[in-house]
Structure 1
């Protein structure tokens, strides 16, 4: 209860401070009351869904996601406005003190707040405010196909030109637009890749979230197969299950569901992909994550049936596994495919110029292709979304990777 009181007090203080900017910019009372009404509705909606609502526990349902998204939008707008106002108020205070001490003023009088600064503050705050709303309305389904060509000295000849489509972090429990998802499935099939590799987090919490989308995802097509692994959300660890048996059944249901969709689920195991006399090893580990995430992945077990000199592609959900374990392993894993970070669903990317997201402060490898010790990883930005029900700047990704034999000349 205390944390809610503190939160409401801080939210109210931010809102009251930001209201001063509105009062400086406009004299129409209806503007103030509209602002206060929206802020109050957003706050009450958030409190309801996270305390008394149907899914008030740890499960992050769709209504809770939207409650959080709208609250975040209001807080960001208020916070940026307040930063500007506080800077101006500090200047006003120092000016008043100076005039009282050295200017002969008998009283401490504050200069009026300057209207143009309030307008600038609200104008700047409106940019992330609008971006966050756009991200919830359209950005979350702004699917991008990112294509990479990767060259390797020891790629088997028959696999020169072999094409992989990688998707990750579906989070089907967050979907709310069937036409957009069907469009994305068609977009994946349009790539006509040899294989489709899914690198974990099919659901947010429960296997049942995927049931309405099973037939849609079953339409995925690849010439040489579809393969998958589990991510941290697939184990049901974020649900307060009534019994351990229910949790175990949920995981088994998800495994069955993935196979019904047509995925060959790799649980710390491997497969060979063959073309004529040539082959490459596809290795899939269960989730292994740093910082409190499940460590069910067992790289040694997964690689038991392959040879050290095989050309190897590893599927591992969390890129921290690659950083902490894979690149220093005795086996050389030519290419690792991961996801998990979502690129935080927020950032700025201008190819060749800027690539930034706050997630970089937690994950060194958070989006795109990286190389260490002659080994590569692609961190997919994710197909779906979780928490904030949108995306800003970091769009949902379909990775298409073409393997090429490096020329000797």
Structure 2
């Protein structure tokens, strides 16, 4: 059991049992009270408190002994590592795909290390989190702030798991996580999609059909092989994408690491048949996920550059997509990339009465709830359908309540 030691006084025992409290040679020097206790590893620990802080010292001892009994004790020395040291170790040992690792490293080093880097983990309190978040307002978009805050909470959560700190300051009630502004999706009209398609070179036009007619992401379209489409049975198998990792093109799994099958409409299948006739697939070999790895994958790609190479999305967006958007009379913004074709696809399916669950599966969303939050305002109003359904139920001879 631990105890609180008063370093400024000591008790002398005289013959006959009398006791006398006298000053020590440390009187008036340094911190007065020292808590001594045995840690779970059997080693002695100590923590000092100033004069007039005996209650705080006793409270610390009681709390420490209680934590030991509950198995939640954290060695105060464990939290002396700086945030920068721990964050770099977290980045090195965290399991990411390489493109996610690259973007996470960038956000942590640019937006977290300058503020928290020199702080010891144990010294980071909820107030520091609130101060950091306030300093980011106006500097980062709400969506980016939310992502960076999630990184911070995950790093400090890992520190709790590693018994570096006892609690995650990001989870305190006084800390309000930043929330991205949920903008309402406004799908393009068919004539706008058609105009953009017409503004692209012929070899790239079927990419619009796959985006608007099958809901594929841009990287998934760029990574689609001729063997991934079943033109007769009417299916598209999405099993990879082309992405940029450290400025190099690689093949990788689709977002959320989940492949999926999507119904292939006859109209899109006809376009793809003609495309294969006009532009023969080119077998290209790229690294898998990590550009430094020795693992290589060869795919007969449906879409390639005029030089028969894999398409770099940045080059395609600048040289082909953006000019086509402008030519269609649409002002280019962050919302007018190829991702807008997925919104067109989703709105078309919802308007036709498709379920949210099926739509989420086709879009490759891990959570149908996310699909619902993004597209719920596009679902056809149900009021009139409700009236008609009840009216039919109560019609004479319907077998319902009126019969």
Fold match by TM threshold 0.5: no
Q: Which has the larger radius of gyration?
A: 2
TM-score for the superposition, normalised by structure 1: 0.29
TM-score, structure 2 length as denominator? 0.29
